[in-house]
Amino acid sequence: MPCRRSPTRRGLRARLAAAWTAPAGVLLATALALGWTTPAAARDGANEVDVELVLAVDISYSMDPEEQALQRQGYIDALRSPEVIDAIRKGVNGKIAVTYVEWAGINTQEVVADWMVIDGKESAAEFTAQLAAKPIRRLYRTSISGALDFAVPLFDKNDYHGLKQVIDVSGDGSNNQGRPVTAARDDALAKGITINGLPILLNRPNGGFPEVENLDEYYRDCVIGGPGSFMIPIRERAHFVEAIRTKILLEVALAPPPAWPVRVIPASAVGGEVLRTQGAEQKTACMFGERQWQQRWGN
């Protein structure tokens, strides 16, 4: 039976979020008070993890089969990489809980690999073997809000208690089905969940269907949010694997992010940039996808 979350655990996550925005001295004092000095100090139960991570991956028809294969393999390679394994082991609890979800339209979400603890090479290999064995599908429409609404209850259904709860959304288009993405985002943030993004910006034909001009800005303004939230745009196919690995490294690390509001961190290894955003002025029309679909198809 899933564990019921206690107010104490929610309070711990809230204190962690507050600590991320504090000066270094306050952060150190908080770490000492909460027993973050060594991984062993925090291991007070089998269900304690550093991060509960939902990997929510777009499989809509706007992505061609080669891109989908690159995306899937990118997650497999990233989770198996020595850098990610080392980062996980250096965490407070030395382990994370992960589930992998694929999504497209409002009613098309599937858990490809259910919740599992990754604490080393063997568990990472076991989890990623499930991804490698699953056929790749392509489905219609793009409902980021549906993906978020599907992902949020997954945290309450698992047996883990994480210092962070993160939904990691990757996709190549704006929301065009379901409720407004900002409403789904805000509901997730109200529960203390952080949403990170991997917007995929590859130049390719889209059948004449207009798409939001700057998908990275759309993700910044309309999709991601919460303490430590960030996104990594992918602009070339060759950058898939490194971008995904960099993103997961940032998600499993318990180190505080740089100062707010907005900082651009060069990431030459992924050929792009890591954009951290909080408090940024919204400039993007977050209903763009819905309006374009309505104008073209009438539904």
In a domain, 19, yes or no: no
Question: CB of 192 within 8 A of CB of 17?
Answer: yes
| pLDDT at residue 25 in the model | 40
Q: How confident is the model at residue 190, as a pLDDT?
A: 95
Residue 283 forms part of a structural domain: yes
Query: 29 lies in a domain?
Result: no
> Residue for token digits 């507050």?
18
Return the pLDDT at 239.
Answer: 85
3-class DSSP state for residue 147? helix
DSSP label of 114: E
* 252 CB-contact burial (10 Å; exposed 0-12 / middle 13-18 / buried 19+): buried
Determine the structural domain holding residue 54 and report its residue range.
47-297
Higher pLDDT, 243 or 128: 128
Residue 4 belongs to some domain of the structure: no
- Minimum mean pLDDT among 118-127, 131-140, 183-192: which range? 131-140
pLDDT at residue 1, as a whole number: 44
Counting the structural domains of the chain, the total is: 1
Residue 42 is assigned to a structural domain of this protein? no
Tens-digit pLDDT profile for residues 286-297:
865 555 655 555
Q: What is the pLDDT of residue 238?
A: 83
pLDDT band at 215 (very low <50, low <70, confident <90, very high): confident
What CATH number is associated with residue 129? 3.40.50.410
Inside any domain, residue 14 = no
**Mean local confidence (pLDDT), 79-92:** 94
What integer is the mean pLDDT of 229-249? 88
- Lowest-confidence range among 160-174, 198-212, 238-252? 198-212
- Domain assignment present for residue 175? The answer is yes
Q: What is the pLDDT of residue 294?
A: 55
Q: Identify whether the C-beta of residue 54 lies closer than 8 Å to the C-beta of residue 103.
A: no
Are the C-beta atoms of residues 234 and 202 closer than 8 Å to each other?
yes
| Mean per-residue pLDDT of the chain | 77
**10 assigned to some structural domain:** no
Q: Which residues pair with 273 in a beta bridge?
A: 266
Task: Give 65's pLDDT tier (boundaries 50, 70, 90).
Answer: confident
Q: For 228-244, give the DSSP string.
A: T-EE--B-SGGGHHHHH
Question: What pLDDT, on a 0 to 100 scale, did the predictor assign at position 208?
Answer: 45
Average pLDDT over residues 132-138: 90
> In this structure, are strands 109-118 and 96-103 parallel, antiparallel, or unpaired?
antiparallel
pLDDT of residue 281: 52
**pLDDT value at residue 282:** 53
